[in-house]
Structure 1
Amino acid sequence: MKLTKQEKSWVLYDVGNSAFIMLATALIPVYFKSLAEPGSSVVVAWGYAETVASLLLALLMPVLGSLADLKGNKKKFFIGTVGTGAIALAALGIPSAALAFLVVYVIASIMLNGSIVFYDAFLVDATEESRYDEVSSQGYAWGYIGSCIPFILSLIVVLGGPSVGIPMDVGMKVAFLITAVWWVLFSIPLIKNVHQTHYKERAEHLLRDTFAGLWRTLKRIWKDKRLRLFMLAFFCYIDGVHTIIKMSTSYGTDLGIDSTQLVLALLMTQFVAFPSAIAYGRLSSKFGTKRMLLVAVFAYFCITLFAAFFLREALEFWILAFFVGLFQGGIQALSRSEFGKLIPKEHANEYYGFFDIFGKYAAVMGTFLVSVFTQLTGNSSIGVLSIATLFIIGFVLLWKMPEKA
């Protein structure tokens, strides 16, 4: 599909922010393990850090999203979160203590995910509704493949550095800087070329009207059966998706899988996800968005069972990474675009703020469950298994969602 200038600019931000997501998934937990106390569980500490970041973001985003819906505000909020997040990301190389590192990481993570909420809401400004599925899928697809460039550069510095006298900690400092610069550069096209065309007019009593508007939005979501069922289903199934993305490397590390194997397998996931995400966008136009989402949710349920019962060696991790790549982009892209079809465009940020609440509170529950069950049982596999039921619930709710309102 030929993309317009605005659509290309919107897609490019996925290339920028995905670099940080890739680094946070693959290398940052490994680096954090080198800062943590010997014998401590990376899964537990990392899970709690992700839980705090997700919880704070879920509480903030509906309010900030409502304010961003006001005329001229969306881009300001977007620039603010990207700028603050990039500074925090670059600063991750400064702390030498595990706790201080986690604090800076939580700030960077909140800013990253906050910017993504505003970015998602820009979809309604960048393209037409009939193109949401395709453009959203293109964003995830190019994000996967584009993020590999700074990630490979980071790998060369971090893994190859010791052979030429560059310690791992210095290599990671360079990797943080590379990723931060990449993130900022690929945000520029959106800032320059995509403009807020759907918005609310400014109110006389800003704070009062903001909270009153949020309450009205909540009531609208609950009264709309299709939107209500979709949000509840999304809350359940995206939990497992986010948890697998955030915890895969730390889970593999706890199982004793070599860090190089983990990183290379996750890099392969990006290459698999590129054509898969594009294919998902096109298949949705033939078979329907809901049907393709059901396929992805069921696939993730199977992936979770595989991780809990069969993942023990590097080979199984490679198999897991391949199948995650097949469905990860599709389930995220179509969830984002389907939601955009169900909401009023002038309230896009406000609605996407609630969309983020459902996604982030699910991530809170998933990472928290994994951490708690791992800590209680001493077995990471039981922690992973605890989230499988959410895919079942999500599948049933999505199945019951009417095709049309």
Structure 2
Amino acid sequence: MSTEAEKTARAVGSTAVGGARRREQHGWYFYDFACSVYSTSVLTVFLGPYLTSVAKTAADAEGFVHPLGIPVRAGSVFAYAVSLSVVVAILVMPLAGAAADRSGRKKPLLAVAAYTGAIATTGMFFLDGDRYLLGAFLLIVANASLSVSMVLYNAYLPQIAGPEERDAVSSRGWAFGYTAGAFVLVLNLILYSGHDSFGISEAAAVRICLASAGVWWGAFTLVPLRRLRDRRVERADGAGAVGAGWRQLVATLRDMRRHPLTLSFLLAYLVYNDGVQTVISQASIFGSEELGLDQTTLITAVLIVQVLAVAGALGMGRMARTYGAKNTILGSLAVWALILAAGYFLPAGAPVWFFLLAAAIGTVLGGSQALSRSLFSHLVPQGKEAEYFSAYEMSDRGLSWLGPLVFGLAYQLTGSYRDAIISLVVFFLLGFFLLARVPVRQAVAAAGNAVPDRI
């Protein structure tokens, strides 16, 4: 009887633990649901063309603005601001990751980063007239805050999901994000297209869409803050947070040298993700300025991306269970290269072709990102999740400065965004080659983690 009682107690305990873990996973999904609206509505659709128009209002007769006395083409302001936000993120992300691992308190840091970004995004409502510097400043703050928050958010993945379920959990997180992005874009499209019937100007409609993304971000961040829990860690070193953070960063870099295969994956990811992030941040500028497409067409195209990215993230998650995450990512990179090669020849003023390209991007976008995150989670030594994910996030958003910078310089020098498109194909092909050389099963074992049956 005592044996049966013990079995029953273990079963009940296991069920309770499983229920608590699922509750955390559901809460974790909701941060993607909260912040992805910024990436979609603000960074991908509205802010690029709108900030460019504001900068052009402030420009001189030759089309240049002069921040700090430096002549900059108005059409390059957005791309340069994105690149500068990356520099800020690089300085802050490793400190946030190290501080989280030292204290075990990721949630308060996540709250600070998330609400800093949400407030900056909401403040974009006041971006009008010739206030391009205000727009650039708010973009830098919001983008850097997003990157910092994602370090902390991603670091929960190894703690809330076992090795065999991480591909699925990560893919569901991306699916939640793309679902939110698609839903809010539908509302944006209704408001923007019918702004006259709502009694507001086109510029006011854009500003409302920008600000509403910040409100959404802040509101739904409450869900993960309620459901996620911190794991306390004991640290012998009681040094101050800032000094300890820098020392921990140095220690992390040294520690990563002991895991060269993890570093090899990060290098591959850095390269191909630079192409992904450039497509995301510069698509609206390319469509409006180079292809001559109107804002309604751009919103519709991104909505197509969002809807198909949900199916793509879930579908590629299932493919990974059969073919492994690495092979599935490699397949997506080959598709990315073909998409961008076709995009180089995309005719101007042709919405149908732009929609077809958007559909192809949506099919591979979510899956390639979700599986990269889950694959990296297997390569992180236990107890160092936030530190290592800070390096990952630097690759994800923090070091994705080269693509936007190339686009900005290309326009600065040639006046054409199309000239930089073909360079992105190189990022995907080189990333494919580097990832193909990483022995992931050996890398997982070298990190001290259990090797899944299929990876």
Query: TM-score scaled to structure 1, two decimals?
Result: 0.94
| 1:213-251 superposed Cα distances (whole Å, 9 cap, x missing partner) | 322322332332321210110010000000000000001
Cα distance in 2 for partners of 1:389, 1:374 equals 19
Secondary structure of the structure 2 residue equivalent to 1:175 = helix
Cα distance in 1 for partners of 2:296, 2:209 equals 16
Which residues in structure 2 correspond to 1:1-400 (within 5 Å)?
A: 4-24=22-42, 25-37=44-56, 43-96=75-128, 97-197=131-231, 199=233, 201=235, 203-206=237-240, 207-255=242-290, 256-312=292-348, 313-400=350-437
Runs of at least 5 residues in structure 2 that lack an aligned partner in the other structure: 1-18, 58-62, 65-72, 443-455
Residue 394 of structure 1 and its aligned partner are, at CA, apart by 0.9
Number of residue pairs the alignment of both structures matches = 404
Q: Which piece of structure 1 moves more, 254-263 or 134-143?
A: 254-263
2:171–2:370 contact (8 Å) kept in structure 1:
yes
Residue 88 of structure 1 and its aligned partner are, at CA, apart by 1.0
Cα distance in 1 for partners of 2:148, 2:132 equals 24
Q: Which piece of structure 1 moves more, 223-232 or 207-216?
A: 207-216
Cα distance in 2 for partners of 1:394, 1:357 equals 16
Cα distance in 2 for partners of 1:237, 1:198 equals 35
1:85–1:108 contact (8 Å) kept in structure 2:
yes
Q: Which piece of structure 1 moves more, 382-391 or 227-236?
A: 382-391
Q: Which amino acid in structure 2 is aligned with residue 238 of structure 1? A: N
Cα distance in 2 for partners of 1:77, 1:113 equals 12
Q: 1:221 to 1:240 in 2, by over 3 A?
A: same
Q: 1:19 to 1:286 in 2, by over 3 A?
A: same
| 1:34-85 superposed Cα distances (whole Å, 9 cap, x missing partner) | 3121567665221101100112102210112101113342111100011111
Residue 200 of structure 1 and its aligned partner are, at CA, apart by 5.7
Q: Which amino acid in structure 2 is aligned with residue 332 of structure 1? A: Q
| 1:126-158 superposed Cα distances (whole Å, 9 cap, x missing partner) | 222221110000011121112222222233223
Q: 1:287 to 1:311 in 2, by over 3 A?
A: farther
Q: 1:18 to 1:369 in 2, by over 3 A?
A: same
Q: Which piece of structure 1 moves more, 247-256 or 93-102?
A: 93-102
1:301–1:388 contact (8 Å) kept in structure 2:
yes
Task: Output the aligned Cα RMSD.
Answer: 2.0
Q: 1:278 to 1:244 in 2, by over 3 A?
A: same
Q: Which has the bigger relative contact order, CA under 8 A and spacing at least 6?
A: 1
Residue 117 of structure 1 and its aligned partner are, at CA, apart by 1.6
Cα distance in 1 for partners of 2:223, 2:238 equals 33
Secondary structure of the structure 1 residue equivalent to 2:214 = helix
Runs of at least 5 residues in structure 1 that lack an aligned partner in the other structure: none
Residue 118 of structure 1 and its aligned partner are, at CA, apart by 1.1
Cα distance in 2 for partners of 1:339, 1:214 equals 19
Cα distance in 1 for partners of 2:340, 2:396 equals 18
Cα distance in 2 for partners of 1:365, 1:200 equals 39
| 1:85-131 superposed Cα distances (whole Å, 9 cap, x missing partner) | 11111111113211211111211121122212211112123222221
Cα distance in 2 for partners of 1:361, 1:90 equals 22
Higher Cα radius of gyration? 2
